[in-house]
Amino acid sequence: MARFIAVRLAATLLLLLALSFIVFGLLHLTPGDPARNLLGPRNPSPEALAAIREKYRLDEPFLRQYFLWLNDVLHFRFGTSIRSDTPVTTLLADRVVLTLQLALMSFVLTVAVGVPLGIAAAWRAGSLFDRTVSVSSVIGVGAPSYAVGLVLLYVFGVWLEIFPVYGSGDGGLDTWWHLVLPAITLAFGIGALAFKVTRTAVASELQQDYVAFAYSRGLTHSQVRALVLRNALIPVATSLGLVFGFLFGGTILVEVTFALSGIGGLLASSVTFKDIPVVQAITLITAAVIALTALAVDVLYYAVDPRVRQRGLR
């Protein structure tokens, strides 16, 4: 157990290190002089250029710059936004709640709709119901959230006027109400994924010998169902953990579509504006959240399922 966790932890740390290198490299990958890029579109004075070179240590060798930057990042010093001249951490703190609200709401939707449908479809595998939902899920997994979002926006926002069209409301319940359409949009694709995972897990569990055995011993349908569900839901739960990571990444498009002022929307506009410190911070934090969720899920899987422990993971 300890060995397994240590290996996974080391792998995650390596991944994050590689990622931080890429993220740091973004500054130098962006066309043009990094110092000018960091000063934004204003025409900089030589003093300002010298100051920014000093501040970002641009005259140091590349690797030294990287390690000094990494040290800052590890202390949560992400620098100052070029566009708004505020510390990046302040910018993020102002927006993170909305993004979390959105992610949470669509996660609940995903679990509440995708999982039960998956169980029901596997239970009646091959039926018209199963085929209909399965084909729909293929469409749902592939459907781009921004297109789905805009079509929903038109139908429910503009045409039927049930939901607000843009923005995140005045806080409290109003914000939740503004998040309904975005959350449905986000849950559309991810719910389809949850459906697929659940259906596969339950269906393959139903093929196991113990199910036939349980039936032949005269257990009732609902007793067998309880047995199967308990076993099938372990992989489902772990993949839902992974889905949460994807959800966080998926918020970018949905936030832009619905003009929500969350982290994702900030990232998109910061990339356009080449506000590099903000882009670096968001990319790194989001990727770290996803990697750490994956780590947690793996460890949890390992702890919960004795079969995995015996086989060893991968």
Partner 1 sequence: MKRLPITPLVAAVPLAVVAVFVVGAQWLAPDATTQDIYTGVTPPGTDGHLFGTDQLGRDIWQLSIAGAGSAVIGPIVIAIGSMMLGLLLGTLAGYIGGGLDLVLSKYADLLLALPTTLIALVVAGLVDGGYWVTVLVLLVLFSPTDIRIARGAVMAQATRPYIESARVLQLSRTRIMFRHILPNVLPIALATMLLNVAFALVAMSALSFLGFGVGPGTPDWGRQLSDGRDLIGQNWGAVVVPGLLIIITAAAINLMGDWLQERFEQRGAQR
Give 32 or 306: the residue with its C-beta nearer to partner 1.
32
| CA–CA separation, 135 and 264 (whole Å) | 30
Question: Is residue 7 near partner 1 by the rule CB under 8 A?
Answer: no
| Residues 6 or more apart whose Cβ sits within 8 Å of residue 124 | 130
| CA–CA separation, 192 and 140 (whole Å) | 5
Question: Is residue 150 near partner 1 by the rule CB under 8 A?
Answer: yes
End-to-end C-alpha distance for the chain, whole angstroms: 14
Burial 168-191 (b: 16+ CB within 10 A, else e): beeeeeebeebbbbbbbbbbbbbb
Quickly count: other Cβ atoms within 10 Å of residue 193's Cβ: 19
Which 8-state DSSP code applies to residue 78?
A: -
Give 125 or 296: the residue with its C-beta nearer to partner 1.
125
| CA–CA separation, 134 and 195 (whole Å) | 8
Question: Is residue 61 near partner 1 by the rule CB under 8 A?
Answer: no
Q: Please report, as residue ranges, which positions from 115 to 134 form the binding site for partner 1 (by CB under 8 A).
A: 125-126, 130-131, 134
Binding mask 260-289 for partner 1 (x = CB under 8 A): -------xx--xx-x-x--x---x--xx--
Give 179 or 298: the residue with its C-beta nearer to partner 1.
298
Binding mask 65-94 for partner 1 (x = CB under 8 A): ------------------------------
Give 118 or 250: the residue with its C-beta nearer to partner 1.
250
Which 8-state DSSP code applies to residue 80?
A: B
Question: Is residue 31 near partner 1 by the rule CB under 8 A?
Answer: yes
Pairs from 204-212 (Cβ < 8 Å, separation ≥ 24): 204/232, 205/231, 205/232, 206/122, 206/123, 206/125
Pick the piece of the chain touching partner 1 (CB under 8 A) from 174-182, 236-244, 253-261, 299-307: 253-261
Q: What are phi and psi of 116, to 5 degrees?
A: -60, -40
Pick the piece of the chain touching partner 1 (CB under 8 A) from 56-64, 78-86, 229-237, 249-257: 249-257
# of chain residues touching partner 1 (CB under 8 A): 52
Binding site for partner 1 (CB under 8 A): 15, 18-19, 22, 26, 29-31, 125-126, 130-131, 134-135, 138-139, 141-144, 146-148, 150-151, 153-154, 157-159, 165, 245-246, 249-250, 252-253, 256-257, 267-268, 271-272, 274, 276, 279, 283, 286-287, 290-291, 294
